[in-house]
């Protein structure tokens, strides 16, 4: 057999060829081990962006990423396991409500989550606004909490799909994030290695999504459902709207506060609607018969939230951090709020300190944006539209610049946009 080398792998994909299983495994194993350098893998990633992957290539690529590390064994957990993953958005705090809600319905929810990057928020960053709460748990703790509490939100261990960790960081600095095969394999390799038996995917479409066109969202959803089902994970995807922010808060501590509001029986209607839609899909896949609407209304999900936070060292009664500075952005006309660009709001929150440009950057738990109106609302000139929150007033001008052109007020309300566009299953 001819010895494999990285240059031949790059050339094959560059020229539109199909990589063999041996080439893919050689590349993933070598990059994970450090024997193939960043520059060669960068070249291959860019070739994949332009040339794509066949279903067979993608299946092997994903399998090799899973096999690069350990797999979490959840076989001892007596409850049925089900997880949810969102492709990222602005104000998307559904995980904070979903995990305790679905756990209160009787399933075990292993939410191995990530951190925010750019205009999208990260679940771990949000929860770390709670004093004492810790994101790092070892595998034994995860299994124990799934059995005793029923829900856990934590960081993935270093040993889980380490190839993805290296590839994700490289994609972020080489302009190769927006590739459906690379996004799908990154998400699904971690979720399959996590060991969950079922998975609901929330695939975002609209201005705040990584892939705004719905056609791309649909292709990504179908690709991920296929990978999940092919690996024995029951998988369903909902394509949901991210043309404007979800709920009325974008940031870290402010999103925790809004999630607690929903668990307490209040909160924005769009956040409640999407949370219940996802919860029903999760319960159906897990074979749980309780109605999430009834469980939420009963207060049992709030009880579960408090139990989960305490189990990871947090104090559910502690006050959340408050920003030292605020700036209100007001309407310059009377009419209907027709557009509030989600990506612009996310970028504003990021510039206020709620997000990061690089994975190692710190984030502010108190920074963010509060929405004082949503598209479709009738407003008068001078009425508050957004409130910008930060500890550093020097950040406010950059946040205001991010919002230029993001708001449209007109005489007619905007066209109706459904919150859930489509459901995709095998």
> Which CATH number characterizes residue 97's domain?
3.40.1030.10
Per the residue annotation, which of 83, 92, 125, 164 is the catalytic one? 164
Q: What is the pLDDT of residues 55-101, one digit of tens each?
A: 999 999 999 999 999 999 999 999 999 999 999 899 999 999 999 99
> How many CB atoms neighbour CB 13 within 10 A?
23
- The runs of H, that is alpha helices, within 175-252 are 180-194, 214-230
| pLDDT at position 355 | 85
Tell me the CB-side half-sphere exposure of residue 364, using CA atoms within 13 A: 22
**Number of structural domains, the chain?**
3
Nearest 10 degrees: CA dihedral of 245, 246, 251, 254?
Answer: 130
Final residue before a domain boundary, out of 276, 300, 318: 318
- Say whether 144 is catalytic: no
239 sits in which H/E element = strand 234-241
143 and 269 fall within a common domain: yes
What pLDDT sits at residue 117? Answer: 67
**Among this protein's residues, is 85 annotated catalytic?**
yes
Q: Catalytic one among 51, 171, 218, 339?
A: 171
Q: Compute the CA torsion angle 372, 324, 126, 131 (nearest 10 deg).
A: -130
Confidence of residue 359 (pLDDT cuts 50, 70, 90): low
Same domain, 39 and 99: no
Return the closest-CA partner of residue 14 out of 54, 59, 52, 64: 52
Band (pLDDT 50/70/90 cuts) for residue 116 is confident
CA–CA–CA angle 310, 94, 63 (5° rounding): 95
In terms of Cα–Cα distance, which of 50, 56, 52 is closest to 23?
56
Domain shared by 188 and 227, yes or no: yes
Structural domain boundaries, residue 269: 82-318
- Are 203 and 284 within one domain? yes
- Catalytic pick from 85, 126, 234, 304? 85
Q: Residue 93's pLDDT is what?
A: 96
Same domain, 242 and 340: no
257 and 214 co-located in one domain:
yes
> What tokens appear for 194 in the block?
């996590």
Q: What is the per-residue pLDDT for 1?
A: 41
- Please write the tens of the pLDDT for every residue from 393-421: 999 999 999 999 999 999 999 999 999 99
**Mean pLDDT, range 325-336, rounded to an integer:** 97
Q: Which of 190, 191, 204, 304 is the catalytic position?
A: 190
Instruction: Determine contact, residues 389/251, Cβ cutoff 8 Å.
Output: yes
126 flagged as catalytic: no
Catalytic residue at 186? yes
CATH code for the domain in which residue 19 is found = 1.20.970.10
**293, 155: one domain:** yes
Q: What is the rounded distance in angstroms from the CA atom of residue 176 to the CA atom of residue 360?
A: 19
Q: Which of 95, 113, 186, 366 is catalytic?
A: 186
**Backbone dihedral region of 82: left (phi > 0), alpha (psi from -120 to 50 degrees) or beta?**
beta
Q: What is the pLDDT of residues 166-225, one digit of tens each?
A: 998 899 889 898 899 999 999 999 999 999 999 999 999 999 998 899 999 999 999 999
Residue 171 annotated among the catalytic residues of the structure: yes
């Amino acid at each position: 057999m001819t010895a494999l080398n990285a240059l031949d792998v790059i050339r094959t994909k560059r020229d539109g060829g199909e990589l063999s299983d041996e080439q893919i495994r050689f590349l993933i194993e070598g990059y994970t081990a450090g024997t193939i350098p960043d520059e060669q893998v960068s070249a291959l990633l860019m070739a994949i962006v332009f040339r794509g992957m066949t279903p067979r290539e993608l299946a092997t690529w994903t399998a090799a990423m899973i096999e690069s590390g350990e797999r979490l064994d959840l076989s001892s957990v007596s409850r049925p396991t089900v997880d949810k993953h969102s492709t990222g958005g602005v104000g998307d705090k559904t995980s904070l409500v979903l995990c305790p809600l679905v756990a209160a319905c009787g399933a075990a929810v292993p939410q191995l989550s990530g951190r925010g990057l750019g205009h999208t928020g990260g679940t771990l960053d949000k929860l770390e606004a709670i004093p004492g709460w810790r994101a790092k748990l070892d595998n034994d703790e995860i299994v124990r909490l799934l059995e005793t509490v029923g829900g856990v939100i934590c960081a993935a261990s270093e040993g889980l799909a380490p190839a993805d960790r290296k590839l994700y960081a490289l994609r972020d600095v080489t302009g190769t994030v927006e590739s459906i095969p690379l996004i799908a394999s990154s998400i699904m390799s971690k979720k399959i290695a996590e060991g969950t038996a079922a998975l609901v995917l929330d695939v975002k479409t609209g201005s705040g999504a990584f892939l705004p066109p719905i056609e791309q969202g649909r292709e990504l959803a179908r690709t991920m459902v296929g990978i999940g089902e092919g690996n024995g994970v029951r998988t369903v995807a909902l394509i949901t709207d991210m043309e404007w922010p979800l709920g009325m808060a974008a940031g870290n501590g402010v999103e925790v506060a809004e999630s607690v509001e929903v668990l307490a029986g209040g909160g924005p209607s769009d956040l409640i609607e999407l949370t219940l839609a996802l919860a029903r899909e999760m319960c159906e896949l897990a074979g749980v018969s309780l109605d999430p609407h009834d469980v939420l209304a009963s207060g049992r999900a709030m009880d579960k939230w408090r139990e989960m936070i305490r189990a990871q060292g947090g104090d559910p009664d502690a006050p959340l951090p408050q920003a030292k500075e605020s700036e209100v952005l007001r309407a310059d006309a009377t009419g209907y709020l027709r557009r509030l660009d989600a990506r612009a709001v996310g970028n504003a929150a990021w510039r206020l300190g709620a997000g990061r440009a690089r994975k190692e950057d710190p984030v502010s738990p108190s920074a963010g944006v509060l929405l004082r109106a949503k598209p479709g609302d009738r407003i008068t000139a001078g009425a508050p539209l957004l409130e910008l929150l930060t500890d550093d007033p020097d950040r406010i001008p950059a946040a205001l610049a991010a919002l230029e052109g993001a708001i449209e007020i007109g005489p007619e309300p905007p066209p109706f946009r459904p919150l859930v566009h489509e459901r995709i299953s095998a």
